[in-house]
Chain A
Amino acid sequence: MSRLDQSGIAVEVPAGWEGAISAGGLQLQADGATEPTVMHLGSFPLPVERGSFGSGAVELMNNQDIFMALFEYGPDSVGTALFAEEGIPRNLQARQFDRNMLQRALPGQSGLQQFFTHRGRAFCLYVVLGSHIDRADLLPRVNAVLDSLEIQ
């Protein structure tokens, strides 16, 4: 197990998992856009080239794999209806997962998207489970990671 800590986000990476937190920090880029902070965790080897919401990675998952992404939105999003939920989502339930929640629909997989605000920062938590049918069995591993997630 190792701990990732970057841009005010910290998480324990379970043994055998891989993870990364970008150095985005919502810094202003030359083109005027802001670079978001993105955290990725996977129970499988994460490819170098992957989208913010796991495209390029979720295709490599087997039915027992898990992919998690935490994407930070800009300060403009704070206080909007979409991010009204306060606090880091924890103790996710199987009924919250849906095949239609996937950014990239792949057979058998299940997904969850939850928008929230924590300490004045707006985020989307995106979780992909390798198997919708086995989602109740996979969830304890997801919740263990969320238990360790800290946002400053």
Chain B
Amino acid sequence: MTAVIIIEGVVIVLLAVLVGGLLKSHAEILRQLDALGVSEDGSVSVGSAQTRPKTTGFEKAPTTTLAGVDLAGGVVSMSLDHGRGNTLLAFLSSGCLSCETFWKEFSGDFELPTPDTRTVILTKGPNSESPSKLGELAPERLPLLMSDEVWDTFRVPMTPYFLLVDGSGMVMGEGAAASWRHLLGLLRQSAADAASPLHMDTEGRRQFTDTQLRSAGVHPGDPSLYENPLEEK
């Protein structure tokens, strides 16, 4: 009888450890998904911690030179700090199901909410990707660069993944998007954040303040500018 109780006890302890381990690993998976902005139902929400630009302010992209090969085997070097417009980096792969919608949209006549934005598709290098499959998917009018090095440099966590970089090589926003609508939302949010005075330099903040004051009817020399708000009238 005692032996049975002991065996039962051991089994209960083992089951408790097993259940505890499963709960812990499940919690870890949920935590990792949450960090990537994916909810439990599999949707990726714009504005989540993951799609929110990672940086607290503008930060320089890890590299401003994208070097790789094209589908014809030529070598290509592209710049992110060319001083003209923005660049949308679309990290896609030929095998990911979520990428299918982006391959399709990028092949059509698409319009991005951020003006003057060039889209560059980045895949892993020829050793990690299928050039023939990419040849079927690749939009004719967009540059496609294959490079393991670029992926490593940008530490791409998943596909599809996007970065919006301005003409000086500063990252305006980045994140994953599960649908075309999510991507457009991410771009709108990144553009809005970029326009925030929090992300401006001193000159930008000065101009922003001037504009706000002028729109409120306060012009240079206005007496209210020289009043001490703490002084009793």
Residues on A lying within 8 angstroms of B by beta carbon are 1-2, 4-6, 13, 15-23, 44-46, 48-49
Q: Please, which residues of chain B bring their CB within 8 A of the CB of A48?
A: 140-143
Q: List 15 A-B contacts (CB under 8 A).
A: A2-B77, A4-B67, A15-B65, A17-B79, A18-B77, A18-B78, A18-B82, A19-B77, A20-B74, A23-B72, A23-B73, A23-B74, A45-B78, A45-B118, A48-B142
Chain A residue with the shortest CB-CB distance to B142: A48
Q: Are B76 and A20 in contact (CB under 8 A)?
A: yes
Quick check: is B174 within 8 A (CB to CB) of the other chain?
no
Identify which of A2, A6, A16, A20 contacts B81 (C-beta below 8 A): A16
B75 at the interface (CB under 8 A from A): yes
User: Which of A1, A15, A49 gathers the greatest number of chain B CB atoms within 10 Å?
Assistant: A15
Distance of A45 Cα from B64 Cα, bound (Å): 13
**A21–B140 alpha-carbon span in the complex (Å):** 18
B75 to chain A, nearest CB (A): 4
- Docked Cα-Cα span, A22 to B83, in Å, equals 26
Question: Are B75 and A45 in touch, CB under 8 angstroms?
Answer: no
Interface string of B131-147 (1 = CB under 8 A from A): 00000000011110000
Given contacts A2-B67, A2-B77, A48-B143, contact A16 B83 (CB under 8 A): yes
Once the chains are docked, how many angstroms separate the CA of A16 from the CA of B20?
54
In the complex, the answer to whether B73 meets A45 with C-beta atoms within 8 Å is no
User: A16-B82, A16-B83, A18-B82 are known contacts. Are A2 and B73 too (CB-CB below 8 A)?
Assistant: no
Whether the pair A6, B78 counts as a contact (CB closer than 8 A) is no
Chain B: interface residue count, which band? Answer: 20 to 34
User: How far does the alpha carbon of A129 sit from the alpha carbon of B206 in the complex, in Å?
Assistant: 37
With A19-B76, A19-B77 known as contacts, the answer to whether A44 contacts B142 (CB < 8 A) is no
User: Is there a chain A Cβ closer than 8 Å to B193's Cβ?
Assistant: no
A45 engages B79 (CB within 8 Å): yes
Q: Do B82 and A45 touch across chains, with their CB atoms under 8 A apart? A: yes
B82 touches A5 (CB 8 A): no
Shortest CB-to-CB span from B196 to chain A, Å, is 26
Q: Is the CB of B77 within 8 A of A4?
A: yes
Residue B26 CB within 8 A of the other chain: no
Query: Which A-chain residue is minimally distant from B65 (CB atoms)?
Result: A2
A22 to B84, CA, bound (A): 25
> How close is A29's CB to chain B, nearest CB, in angstroms?
12
Closest chain-B Cβ to A66's Cβ sits at a distance in Å of: 13
Q: Which residue of B lies closest to A22 (CB)?
A: B74
Proximity string of chain B (36-76) to chain A, C-beta cutoff 8 Å, 1 when within and 0 when not: 00000000000000000000000000001101001011111
Contacts of B70 in A (CB 8 A): 20
Closest to A43 in B: B82
Q: Whole-angstrom distance from the CB of A43 to the nearest CB of chain B?
A: 8
Known: A15-B64, A48-B140. 11 other contacts (CB 8 A): A15-B65, A18-B77, A19-B77, A21-B74, A21-B75, A23-B73, A44-B84, A45-B82, A45-B85, A46-B78, A48-B141
A16, B74: Cβ atoms closer than 8 Å? no
- Residues from chain B with Cβ under 8 Å of A46 in the complex: 78
A150 CB to nearest B CB, Å: 14
Contact with A along B103-133 (1 / 0, CB 8 A): 0000000000000001000000000000000
A1 CB contacts on chain B under 8 angstroms? 65
CB-nearest residue of chain B to A48: B143
- Bound: A136/B170 CA distance, A: 32
Bound: A116/B83 CA distance, A = 34
Minimum Cβ distance to chain A for residue B68 (Å): 10
Shortest C-beta distance, A151 to chain B (Å), equals 15
